Structure 1
Amino acid sequence: MGNPAALWSTDSDRDERHGRILLRAYREAMRSKRLILLWLILLHGVLAPRAWSSPYGIFITSAAVMDAGDIKTLSADIDYRFNPSAINALEEGIPLTLLISLKIRDPERLWFQQPIVEDQRHIQLRYQPLAKSFQVADLGSGAVQNFASLATVLDTLSRLRGWKFMGQYALEKNKTYEAMLRFKLDIESLPLPLRLVAYLSPEWHLESEPYQWRVEP
């Protein structure tokens, strides 16, 4: 009848099978060079030691609604401080998208009513490895600018000028409104593997405090 023990898997057999399964799964997951790179960037951002207060973020230093003939435009000055993981991701070809949102409310309205003005812009930072240059693209208008270095990109982005925001014709003259401007890195636009860990890393949560001021058309 043979050896009855042969009908059952030994611990050694099970370990060997489990090892093969794990090895196969590992190889499949690691096939993509880009996936490996993303996880390295990710782990660096999560596991690196942090101070209690992070030096990274987006800081709005000033904002104003300006008259430009028959239209109004928004101007703002911003200080961008990206963490090293975000910069590494950008230089490896992963686009970073900034979400800019503007709201203008009538203080005489109830708090739950819609703002008079509510507009957004999506600005994407890209790196072109072959050309060794950076691009800034307005995803709404399709306009693209090219830059030789990241420093020139951030210097240009630090001065927002001439934003013809939607809804401005609803603003009445001789009336005071409350405006709020906010900038943030759009984590939802990141590739999925990087997005998952970016949610866990405070250094990836680059978002300005709401900048508020009064507007008198």
Structure 2
Amino acid sequence: MLALRGFQGAKRCCVLIAVVCLLAIPNLALAYTTVELQDLKLERQDAALSMSANWRFDLPSALEDALLKGITLYFVTEVEITQERWYVYNQRVAQAERHVRLFYQPLTRRWRVNISPQPFSVTGLGMSLGQSYDSAEEAMGAVRRIVQWRIANATDYNPEAKQTISINFKLDLKQLPRPLQIGATGQSDWNIGFSKTQRLELTP
């Protein structure tokens, strides 16, 4: 049993080393991954302010290869609502995070997506919702899709005040194993992100 565990540990190390070596090879022909925010809806429902939207982006082939080699990818959406004040700085009204964990299970040939309000490096899988999918495209659909995500209390919204909402989305490199964090830094395939700030107005 100890020998088997040692073999599995060595195998994981070999996978990490192989992926890091691939990342170390620069590919200047690859461009920054374009991310678009579509179908954004900000709604007030009962006691909550919710957000629905779709992220539109294609997963670079380097990341697809990493997933098939057993590397887990993490995506995070961050929302912050602020209210303008005539003195000093704007006031933060609300803040929310949505962390998504995507990985491939070779034994079952299925894809797994977990969603958590906090980084998985902090909570593990204890507070997450998870679902399995038969294909990578189905799993990526779950990664891209946000449905009635609670981002604030309904009382945080003040239509009489000037409030703004900042929406940020990225591939979270900080939750990758340390060797991958170093190898992915500066690589265009791993540079997936979106940032936007706009006036907070509820969808009619």
Report the TM-score when normalising by structure 1: 0.74
* 1:129 alignment partner in structure 2: 106
Say if 1:33 and 1:116 are closer, same or farther in 2 by CA, change over 3 A.
Answer: same
Task: Tell me, yes or no, if structure 1 residue 164 matches structure 2 residue 150.
Answer: yes
Q: Which of 32, 36, 41 is the matching residue for 2:14?
A: 36
Task: Tell me, yes or no, if structure 1 residue 103 matches structure 2 residue 89.
Answer: no
Task: Tell me, yes or no, if structure 1 residue 213 matches structure 2 residue 190.
Answer: no
AA aligned opposite 1:191: P
Task: Tell me, yes or no, if structure 1 residue 202 matches structure 2 residue 188.
Answer: yes
AA aligned opposite 1:75: S
AA aligned opposite 1:144: G
AA aligned opposite 1:42: V
Say if 1:212 and 1:62 are closer, same or farther in 2 by CA, change over 3 A.
Answer: farther
Alpha-carbon distance between aligned partners in 1 of 2:175 and 2:196, rounded to the nearest angstrom: 24
User: Which of the two has greater strand per residue?
Assistant: 2
The higher relative CO (CA closer than 8 Å, separation ≥ 6) is in 2
Give the drift of 1:182: 0.9
Give the drift of 1:126: 1.7
Give the drift of 1:205: 1.9
Say if 1:139 and 1:71 are closer, same or farther in 2 by CA, change over 3 A.
Answer: closer
State the 4+ residue runs in structure 1 displaced beyond 6 angstroms. none
Give the drift of 1:176: 3.8
Alpha-carbon distance between aligned partners in 2 of 1:111 and 1:40, rounded to the nearest angstrom: 51
Give the drift of 1:55: 5.1
CA RMSD of aligned residues (A): 2.4
Q: 1:49-64 alignment to 2 at 5 Å?
A: 49-51=27-29, 54=31, 56-64=33-41
Percent identity between matched residues is: 20
Give the drift of 1:185: 0.8
* 1:4 alignment partner in structure 2: none
Q: Which of 173, 179, 186 is the matching residue for 1:187?
A: 173
Equivalent pairs, count: 185
AA aligned opposite 1:35: C
Report the TM-score when normalising by structure 2: 0.79
Give the drift of 1:93: 2.1
Q: 1:11-160 alignment to 2 at 5 Å?
A: 32-51=10-29, 54=31, 56-108=33-85, 112-140=89-117, 141-160=127-146
Whichever of the two has the greater Rg, that structure is 1
Alpha-carbon distance between aligned partners in 1 of 2:109 and 2:116, rounded to the nearest angstrom: 21
* Structure 2, unaligned runs of 5 or more: 1-8, 118-126
Alpha-carbon distance between aligned partners in 1 of 2:73 and 2:98, rounded to the nearest angstrom: 14
Give the drift of 1:80: 2.7
SS in 2 for 1:175: coil
SS in 2 for 1:108: coil
* Structure 1, unaligned runs of 5 or more: 1-30
Alpha-carbon distance between aligned partners in 2 of 1:193 and 1:142, rounded to the nearest angstrom: 25
Aligned partners of 2:47 and 2:153 also within 8 Å? no
Give the drift of 1:109: 5.3
* 2:121 alignment partner in structure 1: none
